[in-house]
Every structure is written in structure tokens, then in C-alpha cells.
Structure 1
Amino acid sequence: MKHIVNKHPLAIRWFHWLNFPLLAIMIWSGLLIYWAYDPYAIKLFGHTFFKFFPEEFYQKYHIKRRLAEGMAFHFVFMWLFAINGFLYVLYTIISGEWRYLLPKKSSWREAWLVLLHDLHLRKTAPPQNKYNAAQRIAYTAVIVMGLGSLLTGIAIYKPIQFNWLLFICGGYQTARIIHFTLTIGYCLFFVIHIIQVLLAGWQNFISMIRGFEVTDTLTAKIIAKQTEDEKAT
């Protein structure tokens, strides 16, 4: 017999799907800004060993300097990205969803077991509720990263008005490096997230759209028991 198991509230699904295009536009517009001034490379003794975007890239794809356009999009969608993130965090606190998201003491050890299972080096995955240990760590980390991007972005955008924030970030260049590094982190998170979704299967993906998952009786009972235990802790 099949059972319907509720997984994701409507608010969580809205915040999740709104965040995807917002973050995509932020990364795209951020690249327009970066391509207008492309300073980062790995150099040693005056020799460049690695450059994120070599000159051949700009020549092949005819990349133009679109600084003004990039800044316009970036600073408009920055506020939408920040508002969506703030409302998401506020909802998780009010609704109690944070219990499923925050890492536990055992999460760091169990995350390695999840990784080994995903790599098919371990037969069974550690027990989980709505999210496994690796997801708890990743989803919490990306919220912290979002806050870091917002603060460093404001420091770069208004270095005079927010000189105290710029000082906390370690200066203009350091703030820009942190901001750039966090962008790389989002890209890595996105790739890993997609891989996890593919590994979890179609039911897991569709549950983030419709909010529930259709499963068998035994699985439904296990999920219900884990949910009760989670709420109790």
C-alpha cells in the first residue's frame, strides 16, 4: 500500500525556487562586473600558472566590458536575494524547520558516511530524517555564505559609507577576494546539490515541487517515527 508523506511546506518550496533564478542572476551579473576587471590568478616568481579567465576566453567569446550593466543588475537583485534569504531564515525559526536543517553533534561524523555511501564505498547510508548529515551541513553553510556575500558586497559597493564594515572584512581587496571565493562556493554547492538530487531519485525531486512524497507503508512509518524523534530533540 502506498502512503503520502508530507515533506516540504509551501513556504520552503517558494523560497527554494525563488532563490534559484535570483542566485543565477547574481552570479551572471557578478561575472559581468568581474570581467570588467579580471585581476585574480595564481602567480609565482612573475609567472602566471593559472588564470580563471585567460585572454583566449575573452577573444573566443568576444566578451565585452559591461561593468555598468553588471552593477545595475547586481545591486537590484542583491536586495531581492537578501529579502528572500531573510524571510527563509525567519520562517525556519518561527515554524521550527530549523530542527531539520541545523547540523547536530553527530552530523560531521555521519557526513563522511553519507559521502562514502554516495561513492558506493559503503552499502548502507546512516539514518536520516528529512535531510541527511551532509545536507544539514551544506544547507546551513550556504546560509552563512549568503550572509557573507551580502556583507562583503555592501562593503565593496559603499566602501566610504560602510568603512567600518570594510574594516571588519579586512579592506577592499580582501572583501573582494572573499566575495569572489563565496561565488565559487555557490557554484560548487550547485553542482553537488544537483548530484545529490540525481542520486536521491525522482521522488525526492518532485517532492520539492508538490510538497509530498508517495512511499510504501514501512518507509512512511520510519519517516513518521524519525520526525517525532526530531521534534522531541
Structure 2
Amino acid sequence: MTSIDIDHEQHDDRHDQHDDAGPDEPSTPGDDRVARLVHPRAIRWFHWINVPLLTIMVWSGLRIYWAEDVYAFGIGSWEWFAFFPEVVYEQLGLDRRLARGMAFHFSFGWLFVINGVAYSIYLALTGEWRHIVPDRRVPREAAQVVAHDLHLRKDAPPQGKYNAAQRMAYTAVLVMAAILVISGFAIYKPTQLHPLPYLFGGYQGARLTHFAMTIGIVLFFVVHLLQVARAGWNNFRSMITGYSLEPASPADVAAPDVTTPTDEEATS
């Protein structure tokens, strides 16, 4: 991308921020905040492409899972809880259409794999992985983040692009996604790819692992949504536009940031 393209993109983002600003986030010449790039365009694409892909994968995967014996907790003949009660499938309209579930699952599964491989390559080539992969300080700081979120600690620990708890969670979900794909191939082609089922103790072990990783990713998604709602609109907008409005530093006051709207732009 040329410098002209970058300037043009920043100019468009400034106007988008001016139009979208709410009463708590005024976009006026007197606003003491500046727009900073948080999420590059590629990261945003990889992120949002996964939303429909994972939705379809979970929906179609439940159709496949529902065609076999479901997992349940219990002792002997007494069943405490089944994954999932039949009423769940009835309410979601997930009748036993195995062929349709397999068709969707395998078709969109390849797109999920391609998106994941492209994302991994991007992280490696750009160095973005450094913002995600935890270092030795992360476990201690993650505990401090959780304590702060639970109002057990007054001050939040310092953070970079992501806080320590986010880095651990994002790394965990990437590992779960990799295991999900490998176990999925073990179920998909247990004969042709016969070494893969052995990694999980056989076909049933691969199936159980695949199910457990799916549950883990769904739980991560739920917590992720709650955290996004808790963080507010500015955080959510940054994953759409790439930019976040942040308080101006002394350096920004001395030398205005290139993404700060000028008087002419703010009134246009």
C-alpha cells in the first residue's frame, strides 16, 4: 500500500469516527482524544470471517453429533445430564438430517481451515504473534487482571495491545482451534488418515476431543461477547474501523496525531 493510500484510508476513518461518535465520545475540534490504529485491516478480516464460519460449523456439527449417541453424565443407568437435552434440538430445529449436516460441515470446514492457516501465516510474517503469545510475566499479570475485573484489586496491571488475560485466552482458543481441526480430520477420514485417530486414542477419543474443543470455543465466544459489551462501544468500533479513540498524550498535544480531525474536516 502506498503512502497516498494510507493517507486516504486514514482520512476516511476520521470521517467515519466523526459520524459515528455518540454523546459520550464527541468528535469535535476540542476533543482531547486521538484515533490510534489498533487492529490492522487483515486482522479485522480474519476475525469477522470466522463469525459466520464458526456459526455454520457449530450448527452443522450439532446435526452430525445428534445422529450418534450423545454424551451424558450419570452413574450406571441413572443419567444426570445429556449433551444436550432433546428439547434443545427440537427448539433449534436440528432434526436428524445427517447428510445435510455433513455437507455443510465439510464444505465450510475447508474455508475455516484456509482462514486459520492464512491468519497464522499473517501473524508469523508481521510479528503480530508477539501481541498474543504469552511470556513468563503473563500468568501473574493475568491473575491481577481477573482480580481487577472482580473489583478485588484497585489498579489494573500495565498492558500492551491486549491485557495478560486476553493473551492467555486468545492463545488458548488458537490451540483449541488447531486441535479441533486435527481431531476433525481424524473423524472425517479415520481410515485414510489412520495415524490421526491414534493421537486421540482411537475414533471415539477423536470424537470426544472434537466435541470438547467445540464446547470450549463456544464458551470462549460467550465470554468474549460479554467482555466486548463490558468494554463499550469504542472497543467494539476498533474491530470494525481499526481505530480506537484514546486520550491524547503530551506528545500528541505538542505534535497533533495524523488521525486527529482538523477544523476543516470536523466541520465538513
Using structure 1 for the length normalisation, give the TM-score. Answer: 0.89
Matched, 1:9 2:44: no
Structure 2 match to 1:81 = 112
Distance in 2 between residues matched to 1:128 and 1:219, nearest whole Å:
20
Structure 1 residue runs of 5 or longer lacking an equivalent are 222-233
Distance in 2 between residues matched to 1:38 and 1:219, nearest whole Å:
63
Greater Rg by CA: 2
Matched, 1:40 2:90: no
Matched, 1:96 2:140: no
Distance in 1 between residues matched to 2:216 and 2:93, nearest whole Å:
26
TM-superposed deviation, 1:146: 1.1
Structure 1 match to 2:144 = 113
* Partner SS, residue 123 of structure 1: coil
What does the per-residue CA deviation read over 1:177-228, in whole Å, with 9 as the maximum and x for residues that have no partner?
000000100111001111221222211110011011122213987xxxxxxx
1:82-231 equivalences under 5 Å are 82-218=113-249
Structure 2 match to 1:68 = 99
TM-superposed deviation, 1:90: 0.6
CA contact (8 A) 1:5 1:213 kept: yes
CA contact (8 A) 2:132 2:171 kept: yes
Paired residue type of 2:120? V
Paired residue type of 1:24? T
Paired residue type of 2:243? F
Paired residue type of 2:148? H
Paired residue type of 1:36? A
What does the per-residue CA deviation read over 1:88-123, in whole Å, with 9 as the maximum and x for residues that have no partner?
111011111111111111111111111122222222
CA contact (8 A) 2:182 2:196 kept: yes
**Deviates most, 115-124 or 175-184:** 115-124
Distance in 2 between residues matched to 1:59 and 1:11, nearest whole Å:
39
For the aligned residue pairs, the C-alpha RMSD in angstroms reads 1.7
Paired residue type of 1:215? E
TM-superposed deviation, 1:45: 2.5
CA contact (8 A) 2:63 2:94 kept: no
Distance in 2 between residues matched to 1:126 and 1:65, nearest whole Å:
49
Paired residue type of 1:44? I
How many pairs were matched up?
A: 221
TM-superposed deviation, 1:54: 2.4
Distance 1:220 1:80, change over 3 A: farther
Higher helix fraction (1 or 2): 1
Distance 1:15 1:119, change over 3 A: same
Distance in 2 between residues matched to 1:219 and 1:111, nearest whole Å:
29
**Deviates most, 96-105 or 115-124:** 115-124
Distance in 1 between residues matched to 2:251 and 2:209, nearest whole Å:
43
Structure 2 match to 1:231 = none
Distance in 2 between residues matched to 1:220 and 1:197, nearest whole Å:
29
TM-superposed deviation, 1:61: 6.0
Distance 1:94 1:106, change over 3 A: same
Paired residue type of 1:68? A
Paired residue type of 1:9? P
Distance 1:108 1:61, change over 3 A: closer
Using structure 2 for the length normalisation, give the TM-score. Answer: 0.78
Distance 1:90 1:178, change over 3 A: same
CA contact (8 A) 1:3 1:220 kept: no
CA contact (8 A) 1:7 1:212 kept: yes
TM-superposed deviation, 1:58: 4.7
Structure 2 residue runs of 5 or longer lacking an equivalent are 1-31, 253-268
